[in-house]
Amino acid sequence: VDEIRWRLEQLISLRFEVLEAVYRLTGQRRRFSFYEIARAARLLDGHFPDSGVAAEVLTQCVQQALKTGVPLVDVAYMNVTTGEGF
């Protein structure tokens, strides 16, 4: 029950487009955990005014993290702070 509650709390503040991206990315059995994707999604959703942009950047961050081996949250953080991924 606590795990379900925690997962819902991670998602409740996300806008629809970002929530869709999280659903799509966690459903593809990628190497990232729900926790990693939710953390990156919250970071990006809070940064970008347009939720569609946040969702697209989340997808790009996942691809970049897979390509480089850099942790997903670090890629998302670098995107927010520098405007670009690794």
Where are the chain's structural domains? Answer: 2-82
Confidence of residue 20 (pLDDT cuts 50, 70, 90): confident
Q: Crossing angle for the helix pair 16-26 and 34-47, nearest 10 degrees?
A: 160
Neighbouring CB atoms inside 10 A of 19's CB total 17
pTM: 0.72
CB 71: neighbour CB atoms within 10 A? 14
At 37-78, the pLDDT tens digits run 888 999 999 999 998 999 999 999 999 998 998 999 999 999
C-alpha to C-alpha distances, 59 to 1, 37, 40, nearest whole angstrom: 29, 10, 10
